[in-house]
Amino acid sequence: MISNYLRPKTIEDAHQLLQDSGSKGFIIGGGTFISTHQPYGGIAIDLQEIDNLNKIDRSNDSFQIGSRVTLQALVDCDDLNLVLRDAVKYETGRNIRQSATIAGHLVKSDGRSPLTTCLLGLDAKLGIYPLKGSVSVGDWLPFRNTCENQGIITEVIIGTHPQLCFDYVARTPKDRPIVCVAVVTWPGGRTRVALGGFGNSPLIVFDGPDSSGADKAALDAYSNADDCWASAAYRMDVAQKLVSRLLSSGKENPG
């Protein structure tokens, strides 16, 4: 159970409270995971009073998405990539989307997350207080469970130039993916492939100056991806086919 509930008014105060709380402190954005992901005797630090964490801003090159922006707000943002917004819809139902925040989702998501797979493919960056600059989602994901008390996510940054293609296979249209793929291409030809559907987090399986070899990389990446939902052989086959399909569709629709 929670032993204390705090609502600081600045990010500086929130970070200090997190440091002072040690292993018992945890951040609340939307509170979606509070009932199932709290330490015993935990100290909840709620960010609701802190300004500017629930806004989506756009510059020429990027979107800056505040850490408290809800998943439903992403779906409702007409400026955002439609493929990304659809991936958020695949993630969970509307009721959860209305309270779950993008930062909270990233902290608690697993390898079957369509949104995290897309953000990884897009080479999204995180603003983390008090760090200077930004950290890529790909660099942050492997260490997220060891650094929760070392910083607070303030924003997610997504470039406006990359083209995102996404597809997935699941047992039913409403089920979580057994395999999902995000293929992202940049105007200069750079191609990046993120693969989801297994494990603790999605994987970057390809990042090159063009798409040569991307489908083979996807095939190899899931050679050991056996679990109760699917065999490794099935995932390997599906991953390769999805990447090939998305690469072809991207060339047909370069806009």
Last residue of a domain, one of 138, 159, 180: 159
- 172 and 147 together in one domain: no
For residue 88, what are the domain limits? Answer: 56-159
**CATH code at 239?**
3.30.390.50
SS3 string of 31-46? CCCCCCCCCCCEEEEE
CATH code of the domain in which 96 resides: 3.30.465.10
pLDDT score recorded for residue 183: 98
User: Would you state the pLDDT for residue 35?
Assistant: 47
Q: How far apart are CA 163 and CA 30, in angstroms?
A: 29
137 lies in some domain: yes
Domain total in the chain: 3
**194 and 232, same domain (yes or no):** yes
Q: Are residues 96 and 60 in the same domain?
A: yes
CB 179 within 8 A of CB 238: yes
User: What pLDDT does 23 receive?
Assistant: 75
Predicted pLDDT of residue 31? 56
Cα distance between residue 239 and residue 220, in whole Å: 9
Which H or E run includes 93? none
| Helix (H/G/I), strand (E/B), else coil: 127 | strand
Evaluate whether residue 51 is within a structural domain.
no
Residues 80, 17 share a domain? no
Name residues of the chain where pLDDT drops below 50. 35-36, 149, 252-255
Express each pLDDT in 143-202 by its tens digit: 887 755 478 999 999 999 999 999 999 998 888 999 999 999 999 999 999 999 999 999
Q: Is residue 186 part of a domain?
A: yes
Contact 245, 234 (CB under 8 A): no
- 71: which residues sit within 8 A by CB, 6+ positions away? 88, 91, 92, 96, 97, 98, 100, 101, 102, 105, 115
8 Å CB contact between 190 and 206:
no
Residues 194, 181: contact at Cβ < 8 Å?
yes
